[in-house]
Structure 1
Amino acid sequence: MKKINLLRITVFLIFIGRAWQHLFWDAPYRSFFWDEALLQPIVEGWFHTSWTSYVTSPKTDAFIQGVIIGNGVLYLLAAIITLFINEKNKWLLKTPIYLGGVSLIFLAFLLTKEKFYHVAQFFEHSIQFGTPFVFLYSLRENFSKQRLVLVLKILIAITFFSHGLYAFGAYPVPGKFVDMVIGILGCTESFAITFLYIAGILDFILAILLFVPRADRYALIYAIIWGLLTALARIFANFYIDFPLQSLHQYLYEVIYRLPHGLVPLVVLLKMKNYKEVIFSN
């Protein structure tokens, strides 16, 4: 039960972090609704409105903002329900969690669209959009623990491998990655780039070792530590003592929805330990 509770808390953090983002800040829905190549034929053909009028209309902006707020409400509802859903009431309460998971997949697509359709950008969010569905699966009466662990390992491997592609330099290294390393370690830019390069290589190794017997435990321990550190780095690198509350409000939600990058490996590690206890007890 404790391990299921940890998975529950993980899903709650994903949803509440995204709810915070959507209700108080912004999300990249304009990259979809202002995509001229995609929507101009619909806007001008179906609604008989010029593209210029559409993108400059206050009603369009209000609609997009409404979509963002609406998704924020969905995430908030899913977060609350995650705390109370169980095997008996899942048939009644599972829909918001399911819809929230689908919305997270679409959000990952929008973030990928903003990054010129870098495939790694989409799969970097695998833990975030995949864990809610794993949680719903765990509520089944006869769910397979082995299958649950395998799926979570796959989500971890894809997330860390995709993150490693950016740190390694397979894609342009994000400036915010470099700035965070410099801000936290107080190092030079060249050292920060080298540090990220090594971190990327370790992410690749981790993705392989997760599926190697005996070595997987150590890969999970590394994933727990690195996942939590990269999440907490968002607030450490952007916290200003002169504006403490503003700093927390602006960046803490990024920490919250990334904490599962360290918590999901912890769930897997605890479940693997449980397997060993069952084997030896038999």
Structure 2
Amino acid sequence: MKTTNLLKLSVFLIFIGRAWQHIFWDAPFRTFFWNESLLKPFVEKYLNISWTNYVTSPQTDAFIQTCIQANGILYAIAAFCAIIITKNNKKAVQIPIFLGGLGLVFLSVLLAKEKFYHIAQFFEHSIQFGLPFLLLYSLHHNFEVKKLVLTLKILIAITFISHGLYAFGVYPVPGKFIDMVINIFGCTESVAISFLYIAGILDFLLAILIFVPITAKYALMYAVLWGILTAIARIAANFYWEFPLQSLHQHVYEVVYRIPHGLTPLMVLTGIVIYWKQNKLVSNVT
């Protein structure tokens, strides 16, 4: 089934991209481990050290970095499992995928905490942390294409709305969004902000139109294009010919785990075709 293959590929890309990030670069784990209001009582009572000594300790930093890289290894294992998993071997390989999915939820919470608990920052990653669990569902004996398609549409809508809230300016427009537009198009800051404003409006419209039968196909085609282009924009805006390998190493992983933002609406398109064919076959039989 094409939809299931795309789902496997998407989950692989999400996990391998995050593995690359965690193993070679960084992740916001310090947002949790340096949370004074949450951890200070535990640190001072059970570790018997002051909070100041805890947050400035090289051992603490080394421990946090080890946790980040350990999660990267988990994501790498989960990526491999996502490619090889089938109904026959799912009992043996589904655990890393499930744990990796939980890790992505936790990562999204940390990213939201970094942005003062902006709810949109958490839900902007809905596709990324939702697809691993949908992959496991697709291998369940009660799996239905119709339910999968509906859930994928919901994930697309939530992701695009969340992205749109930033582009439209409901939340402060991220400087990196503006910089990417300027670097790619060579425009002024005011033009970049206007471009993002329009993109935000289109994000909101898309979230509605994918549920309207007469417009769903065209809205999903736009979502495929926009999802892939916004993923590629990460490297297009940050590639320097003077340092090609370093540029790729530093930013390609961002492209990799965002490509599923374009593959997910493509899954919906193929899933709708499959569901339609199944229903047509049943009606012909009856």
TM-score in terms of structure 2 length: 0.97
How far is 1:86 from its partner? 0.4
1:214 counterpart SS class: helix
Distance 2:87 2:250 in 1: 36
- Asked if structure 1 preserves the Cα contact closer than 8 Å seen for 2:209 and 2:219, the reply is yes
Per the alignment, residue 205 of structure 2 pairs with 205
Distance 1:15 1:151 in 2: 20
Matches within 5 A, 1:207-226: 207-226=207-226
Matches within 5 A, 1:1-282: 1-281=1-281, 282=284
Distance 2:39 2:140 in 1: 41
Distance 2:235 2:47 in 1: 45
How far is 1:278 from its partner? 3.1
The amino acid across from 1:250 in the alignment is Q
- Asked if structure 1 preserves the Cα contact closer than 8 Å seen for 2:183 and 2:237, the reply is yes
2:273 counterpart SS class: helix
The amino acid across from 1:230 in the alignment is T
1:86 counterpart SS class: coil
Distance 1:20 1:76 in 2: 8
Distance 1:11 1:134 in 2: 9
Distance 1:22 1:278 in 2: 42
Distance 2:160 2:251 in 1: 22
Distance 2:66 2:279 in 1: 53
User: RMSD of the TM alignment (CA)?
Assistant: 0.9
Distance 1:46 1:211 in 2: 52
Distance 1:124 1:3 in 2: 22
Over residues 141-166 of structure 1, what are the superposed CA-to-partner deviations in whole Å (9 max), with x where a residue is unaligned? 33011111111110000000000000
Over residues 161-180 of structure 1, what are the superposed CA-to-partner deviations in whole Å (9 max), with x where a residue is unaligned? 00000000000000000000
How far is 1:209 from its partner? 1.1
Sequence identity of aligned pairs in percent?
A: 66
Over residues 228-257 of structure 1, what are the superposed CA-to-partner deviations in whole Å (9 max), with x where a residue is unaligned? 010000000000011111000000000000
The amino acid across from 1:258 in the alignment is R
Over residues 22-77 of structure 1, what are the superposed CA-to-partner deviations in whole Å (9 max), with x where a residue is unaligned? 00000000011011111111111222210011011111011101100110000000
TM-score in terms of structure 1 length: 0.98
Over residues 185-229 of structure 1, what are the superposed CA-to-partner deviations in whole Å (9 max), with x where a residue is unaligned? 111111100000000000001111111112111111111010001
The amino acid across from 2:162 in the alignment is S
**Count of residue pairs the alignment pairs up:** 282
Distance 2:273 2:148 in 1: 14
2:107 counterpart SS class: helix
